[in-house]
Amino acid sequence: MAIIESVPNFSEGRRADVIQALVDAIQAPGVLLLDYSSDADHNRTVITVAGEPDAVLEGVWRATALAAQRINLYEHRGEHPRLGATDVIPLVPISGITLDECVTLAHALGRRIGTELGLPVYLYAAAATRPERRRLPDIRRGEFEGLLETIHLPERTPDYGPAQVGPAGAVVVGARPFLIAYNIYLDTSDVEVAKVIAKQIRESSGGLPAVQAKGFLVEGQAQVSMNLLDAEMTPLHVVFDEVARLAGQQGIGIARSELIGLAPEQVMLAAAAHYLKLQDFRPVHTVEGAIQQALSSRKL
């Protein structure tokens, strides 16, 4: 059975009734709600769902339609860059399906959003139709306000939907491998420190491979906000150690860190093995992993 994950990001993190309505709308029949979190400073909600492709696409479409009705980008303010009420919809292959097949699904979803909701849609990552649209930050440059001024230009023509912007803005849809959204809070209120560290570690500035990063001030605390695009290439613990090293050079410590959404078990086990200096540590060395292996062997 084909299973995909989707992690749509919505530009609402303050109104509890709208957030709950989005969570309810996305749970179409067959959709598994795995996680959701909201941040008032970013004014953003991230919902993680999984299931068979048709079910997930239906759930995400329902939530996108609701967001277009309930979220007005003319009034929206928040720390996180955004282009639309439903800002981005990634589709991720989990099992029984390829990334190329998720690209086809992204096109189908984008076409439906553009046709039925009348929203401009841009395709990114593996689904991108142009090289300059592969990276989400490139599509989102200028944000909603900038899109109002530039959508008529040839280079900003949407992949689907009209070349006009309303209160719901535009939607970015794509297909990609698993991504880890990870934030580190510094023990300081100086946001410039976070911005400098973010620039030092992100790949586009010559930092760590497959890492995107920005610096924010969240609840009075400097935050280095990151997307890890390939945790095998640059593991979670490597990112943590590098941010800690750069902060330490300025006499600043790490207050805490957080995951936004979910992370693969192997990523967390690799971090634990790194700090505990465990050699050749694998999931089967955990009680749960050993039980799962035993049950799988019995089924065979």
Catalytic site residue from 80, 107, 237, 274: 80
Cα separation, 274 vs 286, whole angstroms:
15
State CA 24 to chain mean position distance. 20
Q: How many CB atoms lie within 10 A of CB 108?
A: 14
Cα separation, 105 vs 247, whole angstroms:
42
Cα separation, 224 vs 260, whole angstroms:
13
Q: Name every residue whose Cβ is closer than 8 Å to that of residue 109 and which is 6 or more positions away in sequence.
A: 57, 60, 61, 89, 91, 173
**Annotated catalytic, 80?**
yes
The answer to whether residues 211 and 234 touch, using CB atoms and an 8 Å cutoff, is: yes
What residues are annotated to the active site? 80
